[in-house]
Structure 1
Amino acid sequence: MNTPMDIASLPAWRKAYSGDGRLLLEDALPSRDPFKLFDFWFREMAARKDELTFEEINAVSVSTVSAEGRPSSRMVLLKSYDDAGFTFYTNYDSRKGTQLAGNPNAAMLFYWPKFHRQVRVEGVVEKVSFEQAEAYWNSRPVASRIGGKASAQSTVIPDRAHLERRKAELEQLVAEEGASAASKPKTWGGLLLRPRYFEFWQGQSDRLHDRICFSTDRPDAGSADFIHSADRPDWHMFRLAP
């Protein structure tokens, strides 16, 4: 690249940036329980999905750290969430799987640009039960199961044709033996991130963005700058400067 890209020269698509006309104020929160607040935001996005023409609202960036301390991030699809945490599925032998096996600390970032919202979640990851993983695997379309079984995720392969050959072999096996032939690989399963930190970010056009946070750890601030969440007293709620 010989000529630097001048980002400022790009079309001013952010001129309509308004944060949806909302302020994120502590007294107006639908809940001071971060799990319930996430659910409120997520369901609101789902209810307005027709306006999100290019977004998958359950797409989330997952960041992990290698044994050498090198971070890496990738997009995955969140498959479920509840009061325990956030669940997604992967090959345990993949890069994220092996990094999490060595260091279970991870971070998630949800971003819904149409409504200028982000949610950051940090916590510790653990494997879901074999039964839960198998039930989810069997609920997937057969083509997805074949794709998951055909790919030794994150390993070096010679070319695209290698995948296509493996896919064709599995498709033939399924045609002969039925969908059960596309069984769950032993190394494939679910991962649950148990949160210890949430940050709810609402963008504002003047860049004085709202950042409301919840943490199981006491924040590095004076006592006047945080409160205990009335809905979840083992968590602290506080605001960060943008």
Structure 2
Amino acid sequence: MKPGSHTKSTPAAHVAIIMDGNGRWATQRGRPRLFGHHAGAKRVREIVESCPDLGVKYLTIFAFSTENWRRTQVEVAGLMSLFRRYITKEARDLRDEGVRVRFIGDRVRLDAKLFNLMDELEQMTESNDRVHLTIALNYGGRDEVARATKRLAQDVASGRLDPEQVDEETLPRYLDTYVLPDPDLVIRTSGEARISNFLLLQSAYAEYEFIDTLWPDFTRDEFALLLDSYSNRDRRFGAVTA
């Protein structure tokens, strides 16, 4: 739907989630932060499995940001180990359940083993179409735009792209998400009301839900309630209701 149009919302085909609150969830239980991250990884499985019944075709989750490298070395190393373990453990089930997995973000800083596992999972699931799961790993919206702009500039410099033809539809074709529709709904858990550099261009006309629930406590039922709320919204895209 283009800006300027007006429609009653249909079910959210693409939902993006900022999965926040793992560390606080663990701290509340007197456990180390990595305990919360492991609990959060298990929650991903439940939400992915619920998508077909809830009408969600595309699910994009924010797993690790470009800013998360600032955390302690212990936590970062633990997260990288968790990502490797998650991919290894879940790969076959994701494939068999019809989930297509993609990764977005800058892979250059990731270790070779994790990089290879990501590549293998993408190839293993590339023919699936039941749910499209996109995992943002070492991802930042500003970083994505910078990388996309660099590629666009290279095409202009080489003559492959006429600068006079560049418009607002051009840059999205260079983004990590170029094969995906823009998100309809963005959810952030844990009570924080900010977007944290996530899908900056793609979510320009998305609806938002900021909820208090910590990610490890986020259930299928709560997901369904948020989707129901979204379906009753009046999305005007800049227009005025008659």
TM-score by length of 2: 0.25
Which structure is higher in helix share? 2
| Greater RCO structure (CA 8 Å; 6+ sep) | 2
